[in-house]
Structure 1
Amino acid sequence: MSQTRTPLVLVTGLQPALTARAAQDLLHAAPGTVLVHHDVRELGQGVVLRTLREPGPAGVVEHRSAIELAHGCLSCTLRLDVLPLLRSLAARPDVTRIVLQLDPALEPEHLCWAIAEVLLDDEPVGEPETAADWVEVEAVVAALDAATWLGDASGEETMADRGLAATADDERTVAHVVVGQTAFADVLLLAGEPDDAWAAAQLDAVLVRLCPSAARLPLGGWQPGPVLAGLGAEARRGRLPTPHDPLLAGQPPLDEDAGVSLVRFEADRPLHPERLHEAIDALLDGVVSSRGRLWLATRQDRALWLESAGGGLQVGDAGPWLATLPDDPELWAQVDPQRAAAAALRWDPLHGDRASQLVVLTHRQAPLAITAALFSAVLTDDEYAAGPEVWATWPDPFGDWHDDPCEASGPADDADLHLTDREDRA
């Protein structure tokens, strides 16, 4: 196992031409940098095209390979080629930094999870290893088209509509992908200009609220060395989120600007599942993103996680409420201290930490329309008085959580305290 892990920079974005420009800048920023790109456009045929560029005596040397996979899926691409390649490159003494230029279909959050959690095949003698034993994420860099990003982030098109789907069953929306790429980034590189001053003001207002801690720079002429060295302690650097993270991390502006607002919804009573199902339609039009934890009357033991981007929405299991945990010091020791402190501040003698908290980033939907729709789902006095035994009998349209059979399908369920499975609602 490597004693000193090799820095890894992930370059993400929807337009390959822009990510290629950003990755090239990184390749030439420091000696010993290696640039890797996996083209997954033929993944459905079981083939991934890998390009590796590295410095040579006469300039940059390029190596191209066609990787054949028994199963054409992103998980196999990661497990069988990307992750082992990171280990082999990190083991080379002449490699000082690895740059991964991600295909639009590869989401940086998913890749960071795989780096940290997926055990490498063909282990050398010794303890099982992950790629994180060999590399550490120095930064995630997102290259954005300033003229089209906001439209992409608030639309309903799918990746398949754009010809960007990884496989035939890839149902992700473009908004889901671009919002995820951007929110997970430490550095945002903007190419081009919005159509007019109002569009520019809206884009600026959205980005500073979506990722307030990220550095924002023009793509042309940025200096990778100083930018990466200047990232502060608040930089994510590939850290995986949990459903119980602060919803307003990074201290984004809370005032309205250019029609853009952060709408906060909180309720200390449970939500009626059928009325909530109707209310969330307000989150799918004129909204860039929403995310938060919800307390359903029909689910007293576990929180519901909700997140949306544009016209697509995901719901899933956010793990147990702390009020349900047994008095076991070992189990409580696994609870994130920040979550435990936040729960203690609002602890209710009857319901513990159960509560609903949602943050919505809107640029066209009226904030009052959003809060009115969500508050309509809060139990009335009569419903609340009926109690949990009656609540449990109500229909729950959210159903069971989706189980993805792929081996490296998503975030790990750490001690059943974090995000588990999700289901999509387009």
Structure 2
Amino acid sequence: MTQRFTISTLSTIDPVVRSSISFGLALERSDVAVIHHDFIGDQIRRTVADASGVIESDATELDHACLGCAVREDLVPTLARLKERDLWSQVLVALPVTAESAPVMRALHTETRRSGLLEGARLGAVVCAVDAATIADDAFSDEYLADLGRPLLGDDERVLAEAVAPMLAHADIVALVGDDPASAHARATVDHLRGQGSTVLTSAMEDIDAARIMSTEHRCDDALGRVDPLRIDRHVEPDCAGVWSIDLSSDRPFHPDRLRARLPELGGHEARTRGHFWLPTRPADACVWDGAGRQVSVGSLGRWGRHERGTRLVVTGRGPERDTIAAAFHDCLVRDDERGTDWHAHGDALDDWLGAPDPF
């Protein structure tokens, strides 16, 4: 009788944590296989193992060294082969260190639908495993991944906080592991940055709860809502252990001149800032704001569509800059006496951020 085939995913920023958890699960349960992927130059290196040892070890040339290509060209066919063999009921996909889980799960969700290569398979939990001893610093760190020896690809210019934030937000389960998984600072950091509806497990790495991971169902739309800048399905936790969050929102747009001038006060901190905004010079465009570890990325998402136009930033930090960020946010909003401005004539000089604006 064919077993129900469940695919769970593990994201990490530490290769030791990844190996300890993934191979620990494989050794614990004979019905679990583990897939490791790593980028090496223009290849994706794949290792498949279970309790008996290594099953496959191979490298595939990629036309484009990106995670989406790896999923399409290597991971999905590998999972289809394992499913067809009917020897394992559960597979844990251990993503490359610092890789985001959202694009992978989006692709896997499509393939589990009717006529997909993984039709009938079930998506288990997306797990983000972090070291309780370091996550309170890692989540706000402005150290470059390349300097830490952990770039996803050769041209990876992210800082550590930029890698951690989307992992925590997208995960169904955040696993706090290490010698002191119950650390108050670690738990507060995770609780402020994880997505709405997610849960936290605390344990030593060798005692991670495999049954909990595999039995949890991944709901793709809910998880994507946690990382969608137009939705930000993240609960704002009360201040705890020095970690705070604020939810800044308005139906008013940002004034383009003041936004540019006050960018350092809004994003130049060791804080996580995420959300969306609009500009009176580009009223139809939904703009995204994504900041972590003193780095800020802004861009255009296209039209607002079914989303209500507005300006919202959710900010999490642990330093004294909360009032500075809040004051800068409110100062950037268009004021009552500016509402009659001829914005078409005013322009915004933000083409380098957002591209050329559409005609009014």
TM range (shorter): 0.7 to 0.9
TM-score normalized with structure 1 length: 0.72
The range that moved more, 80-89 or 226-235, is 226-235
Distance 2:212 2:75 in 1: 28
Partner of 2:137: 151
Give the alignment partner of residue 107 of structure 1, picking from 97, 100, 112: 100
Deviation at 1:68? 3.4
Give the alignment partner of residue 276 of structure 1, picking from 249, 259, 284: 259
Distance 1:401 1:84 in 2: 38
Deviations 1:48-104 (A, max 9, x none): 32211135xxx3444322333455444433322112212222233223111111111
Distance 2:354 2:140 in 1: 27
Deviation at 1:271? 1.0
Deviations 1:309-348 (A, max 9, x none): 22222222233235xxxxxxxxxxxx4xxx5xxxxxxxxx
Distance 1:163 1:90 in 2: 34
Structure 2: which amino acid aligns with 1:64? Answer: S
- The answer to whether the Cα contact below 8 Å between 1:273 and 1:398 also exists between their aligned partners in 2 is no
Distance 1:357 1:208 in 2: 20
Q: Extract unaligned runs of 5+ from structure 1.
A: 121-126, 323-334, 340-352, 403-426
Give the alignment partner of residue 289 of structure 1, picking from 272, 275, 294: 272
- The answer to whether the Cα contact below 8 Å between 2:11 and 2:98 also exists between their aligned partners in 1 is no
Partner of 2:354: 400
Give the alignment partner of residue 88 of structure 2, picking from 80, 88, 95: 95
Partner of 1:136: 122
Distance 2:3 2:296 in 1: 40
Distance 2:35 2:129 in 1: 16
Structure 2: which amino acid aligns with 1:95? Answer: W
Distance 1:17 1:73 in 2: 23
Deviations 1:269-322 (A, max 9, x none): 221123213333234444431211212121100111112122222222233235
Deviation at 1:358? 1.4
Matches within 5 A, 1:383-422: 383-391=338-346, 393-396=347-350, 399-400=353-354
- The answer to whether the Cα contact below 8 Å between 1:25 and 1:224 also exists between their aligned partners in 2 is no
Distance 2:214 2:86 in 1: 22
Identity %, equivalent residues: 26
Matched, 1:17 2:16: yes
Give the alignment partner of residue 56 of structure 2, picking from 37, 59, 63: 63
Structure 1: which amino acid aligns with 2:335? Answer: T
TM-score normalized with structure 2 length: 0.84
Root mean square deviation, CA, Å: 3.3
Deviations 1:349-381 (A, max 9, x none): xxxx33211110111143211111111111233
Deviation at 1:33? 1.8
Deviation at 1:232? 9.8
Structure 1 or 2: more helix by fraction:
2
Partner of 1:366: 321
Structure 1: which amino acid aligns with 2:245? Answer: L
- The answer to whether the Cα contact below 8 Å between 1:272 and 1:297 also exists between their aligned partners in 2 is yes
Distance 2:71 2:226 in 1: 17
